[in-house]
Structure 1
């Protein structure tokens, strides 16, 4: 089971702490490494399972990104003349 899973009834109502997002990104890194390893070994069934978890995690992160307010724009600093 993935580290982060929000039930349908709570979606859009829960604030996700940044450390949870960071842990999810780290989990995705490990999933990608496992997927590559299993692909190299020709073990498609195990590879497919990890791909499904990775896909769910990526959709979750994309949903969070879409629901987040845009970050304030920063103006480039002018070099001193």
Structure 2
């Protein structure tokens, strides 16, 4: 299951840290490799599920980036 997938009942409670982000980036790397492999074998329909997971992961990363304070700025304690 994708690192970015969080059940509805747990949303908003998941901690986002460097380890989680790194695991997500590594998962995306694996997904891209699988998609490329399937496409190179002419099996594009099989890669659709991986494309959906990759898309969800990218949206999750974009959401985190949008809510994070700009570099060099601290949030109020």
Q: Match for residue 76 of structure 1?
A: none
CA RMSD across the alignment:
1.7
Please report how far the alpha carbon of residue 12 of structure 1 lies from its aligned counterpart in structure 2 after TM superposition. Answer: 5.0
Change (3 A) 1:2 1:28: same
Q: Match for residue 78 of structure 1?
A: none
Please report how far the alpha carbon of residue 4 of structure 1 lies from its aligned counterpart in structure 2 after TM superposition. Answer: 2.4
- Unpaired segments ≥5 residues, structure 1: 74-81
Change (3 A) 1:9 1:18: same
Q: Match for residue 15 of structure 2?
A: 15
Residues 9-57 of structure 1: CA distance to partner in whole angstroms, max 9, x if unpaired?
A: 6555543011000000000000000000000011122111111100000
